[in-house]
Structure 1
Amino acid sequence: MRGFGPLRRSGPGHHRDGAAPRWTGLHPPGQGGPDLRFVRAVALLTDFGLEDSYAGVLHAVLLRDAPGVQRIDLSHMVPPGNLWHASYLLRSAWEHLPADVVVLAVVDPGVGSERRAVAVRLGDRWLVAPDNGLPVAVGPPSEGVTLDAVRMGLPEPSATFHGRDLFAPAAARLARGVPSGDLGEPLDPGTLVSCPLPEPRVEGNRVQGVIQHVDRFGNLVTNIPAAMATAGCQLRAGWRRITHRVRTYAEGRSGEAVCLVGSSGFLEISVPGGSAAEQLTLETGDPVELLPPDTAL
């Protein structure tokens, strides 16, 4: 019985003998279709939760339409319809994603309404989402298209699950390298709905901001970038003024509200050993104020 010879590769996707693999994708290379050996990854962000099959169905459609596609689950636990939460998660994850990723963001309280379904380009990445603020959450797109089921050769989408019937098929096509013009008509990026997340406002020597996110540990993430905080500055949130700034969560005393720069690059309020949200009775949308060091107590 003859044994196997040594494994030899001349490049990605080659067989043991170094020969190119037999093509099994939707379109053979060089015959009018994209080469599925070089499919982009797709990152998913939804409010579907994990109890129902909705998130799993998105994975199934992606694999059906782009066999072998790698998928990244950013989160499926966005509170239902919470565009603010979804925008923050998208922003905080964006720079860590593969350079040419396709992001599929389906938080869609307006499903079935007149809101547009779009795909927009930001650098080398594509973002597929409803036109409700998510497409511009990480910055202004350079181009985009309004998704058209007919142009994509799809059946008429259901009135309640565009994630399955329109957004996921569009993301799969972009992942395969299908030209964006095959997905729909070009759009003017300037007509996209604004992101719901507010920007901090500078008023004299103070910065007005908000709590933009409360994580599962009760940390309060503001929308004030770390670069706006000078040494010795203070942060006022609700009825409390936080003057103790630390570098890590562990540096603060147990039960003491402290300020630090979180992993997303924004100022955070934390209570070591507890929940800042509970102790300060604050939630998303509540105002915060960055004060200069010499502000009287």
Structure 2
Amino acid sequence: MTGAAIALFTDFGPAGPYLGQVEVVLRQLAPSHPVIHLVSNAPCGNPRSAAYLLAALRQQFPQDSVFLCVVDPGVGGARKPVVLQADGQTFVGPDNGLLNTVAKHAERRDWFEIVWRPENCSMSFHGRDLFAPVAARLALGQAADDLKPYHVDIADWPEDLTEIIYFDGYGNAFTGLRYRSELDGRKLMFDGRRLEQAGTFSEVGVGEPFWYCNSCGLVEIAVNQGHAERQLDLRIGMKVAYE
């Protein structure tokens, strides 16, 4: 029988050895649990933006899923390694804001500090040496002794982020703003531009920019048969607003 999925959410990038090194640990320790490469190009070294992408992408996963989350510019420093249990899903990663949006949106949340340490642990690769073994044991239901209760103050953490947080492979720009019906018909403003809303790409002319609700439920900036990031000179962290 196949166990619960372990989803990888990282800024490692698709090239290089890091994804494979993490995956081999998971496959050795939890071989009956499928490993899903959810995102390997999360905003690099930017846990705040990545937090809103993670919260949007988790929605399609069942309650028993385990997410191994690594966007960790402070690896080896003072930030704590933690586990978040949110509405039946489990998230393993650093306490640097990466998991905060998931917690903010959850109806039920419990935080834990990871107190277990491996015999050998690279100071710069906790994803492989610390987070992956704990994620595997959580998937197997064997990690109770690895954790202790922990508190994270998310009172001031924004529900939504009115910024560009991610570019997909087509150059479309995800924002950290969840779509809601009261945005319909309003113009999206950024960097002196104003974009009209469309339902999908085919509703506008070729080369025309627009905003719409994407498949993750986020407000997205796109260009029909174009590359919004390049054509509109967009960047991670660029502010957006509505009029």
Q: TM-score, normalised by structure 2?
A: 0.88
> Is 1:254 equivalent to 2:206 in the alignment?
yes
Q: Give the deviation of 1:230 after TM superposition.
A: 4.2
Partner in structure 1 of residue 109 of structure 2: 142
> Is 1:178 equivalent to 2:131 in the alignment?
no
Aligned equivalent of 2:178, options 225, 244, 261: 225
Aligned counterparts of 2:119 and 2:129: Cα–Cα separation in 1: 8
Give the secondary structure class of the aligned counterpart of 2:188. strand
Partner in structure 1 of residue 150 of structure 2: 187
Higher RCO (C-alpha under 8 Å, 6+ residues apart)? 2
Partner in structure 1 of residue 45 of structure 2: 81
Summarize the Cα distance change of 1:142–1:163 in structure 2 as closer, same or farther, 3 Å threshold. Answer: same
Aligned counterparts of 1:54 and 1:247: Cα–Cα separation in 2: 38
Give, as a single letter, the amino acid of the residue that structure 2 aligns with 1:199: D
For residues 73-113 of structure 1, the C-alpha deviation after alignment (integer angstroms, 9 at most, x for no partner) is 10222343232443233122101112200110112111111
Across the two proteins, how many residue pairs are aligned to each other? 240
In the alignment, structure 1 segments of 5+ residues that lack a partner are 1-36, 201-208, 292-297
Aligned ranges 1:217-296 → 2 under 5 Å? 217-227=170-180, 229-243=182-196, 245-291=197-243
Q: Give the deviation of 1:251 after TM superposition.
A: 1.4
Tell me the percent identity.
35
Summarize the Cα distance change of 1:145–1:289 in structure 2 as closer, same or farther, 3 Å threshold. Answer: closer
Q: Give the deviation of 1:253 after TM superposition.
A: 0.6
Aligned ranges 1:108-119 → 2 under 5 Å? 108-119=72-83
Partner in structure 2 of residue 72 of structure 1: 36
Aligned counterparts of 2:39 and 2:173: Cα–Cα separation in 1: 19
Aligned counterparts of 1:90 and 1:149: Cα–Cα separation in 2: 25
Give the secondary structure class of the aligned counterpart of 2:123. coil
| Structure number with larger C-alpha Rg | 1
Summarize the Cα distance change of 1:229–1:267 in structure 2 as closer, same or farther, 3 Å threshold. Answer: farther
Whether the aligned pair in 1 keeps the contact of 2:101 and 2:159 (CA below 8 Å) is: no
Q: TM-score, normalised by structure 1?
A: 0.73
